[in-house]
Amino acid sequence: MKLIIDSGTTKTHWVLLEEKQVTENFKTTGFNPYYTSAETIRQLISGELPENMRRKNVEKIYFYGTGCSTRANCSKVDSILQSFFKTAIIETHHDLYGAAVALLKDKEGIASILGTGSNSCLWNGHEIIESVPSTGWLLGDEGSATYLGKIILKAFLGGELPKDITRTFYQDIGLDFEGVLHKIYSASQPNKWISGLAPFASAHINNREIRELVKKNFRDFLAVQIKRYSHYQTKEISFTGSVAWHFQELLREVLQEENLHAGSILQQPMDGLIEYHTS
């Protein structure tokens, strides 16, 4: 019996495999071991893990998680999971590794995550051989929902967009100029609120200015991430994550404009991880 766990900042996706068949499939609150204490993570899992899962004889756990890029964070997660599944053998990897496995499996290429945050790596079919450091939502995360939210805010607050779409924006979010500034600079966890502006772009994607902001989001990602890999022009670039999925038409358009090779686009890594662990 295998348990696959894909954990991001927003949500954690759990799938239980029995004889290569999915018998449990559910989601709980996400977490990042860089910012979330071990006790808080344990409480989150304890409060949301279905009771029947605790009684399962899980033999192997494959965990792919945001923030699991250091040995300390991997050990932290291992210890927490072991407290729930005492006899399981646990493998903990960074979510970027999981994305590469899900998207490319044994093929060479570039794997990218465009969700709440963003990241990428060069994959040789077996392991990550190169990656561009991710500086997080405050300094980077180009291509992500959070970065898209930031450039949307900058455009509206700076008065750069037409009056009709500006009026619609403030009506949709239910705030005025001062209210937005309070959300950004005084409220707790502003990054979560900022990333939550991505659906506004989706709802108004036929607006020319909004389309250009979404395309800028992708161009900036290519500039600071993809174009730093050697021979990136020859690599197939694949994507997973909510932003890549929901804006895939514009993503492919930008890749074509940049003469880059678009690979597969998955809404969530778990689709590819299930295929990989049942093959």
Whole-model pTM? 0.87
Q: Which range of residues forms the domain containing residue 43?
A: 2-98+271-278
Q: Domain boundary residue among 165, 193, 214?
A: 214
Q: Domain boundary residue among 170, 190, 214?
A: 214
CATH number of the domain where residue 175 is located: 1.10.720.160
Within-domain flag for 47: yes
Within-domain flag for 171: yes
Q: Which residues contact 75 (CB under 8 A, 6 or more apart)?
A: none
Within-domain flag for 220: no
Within-domain flag for 79: yes
User: What residue type is 241 in one-letter code?
Assistant: G
Name the CA radius of gyration of the chain, rounded: 20
Same domain? For 157 and 208 the reply is yes
Q: Which residues contact 231 (CB under 8 A, 6 or more apart)?
A: none
Q: Hey, what are 274's tokens? A: 């299930």
Q: In this predicted structure, what is the pLDDT of residue 201?
A: 96
Within-domain flag for 22: yes
For residues 99 and 112, the answer to whether their CB atoms sit within 8 Å is: yes
Within-domain flag for 114: no
Same domain? For 88 and 143 the reply is no
Per-residue pLDDT of 127-141, as tens digits, reads 999 999 888 778 889
Within-domain flag for 173: yes
Same domain? For 93 and 146 the reply is no
Within-domain flag for 49: yes
Q: In this predicted structure, what is the pLDDT of residue 67?
A: 87
Q: Hey, what are 145's tokens? A: 């929902």
In whole angstroms, give the CA distance from residue 14 to residue 35. 21
Same domain? For 90 and 16 the reply is yes
Number of domains in the chain: 2
Same domain? For 153 and 78 the reply is no
* Residue 254: closest CA among 201, 205, 218, 207: 218
CATH number of the domain where residue 13 is located: 3.30.420.40
Q: In this predicted structure, what is the pLDDT of residue 135?
A: 80
Per-residue pLDDT of 260-277, as tens digits, reads 999 999 998 999 999 999
30-34 LR contacts (CB < 8 Å, sep 24+): 30/66, 31/7, 31/66, 32/65, 32/66, 32/67, 33/65, 33/67, 33/68, 33/73, 33/76, 33/77, 34/67, 34/73
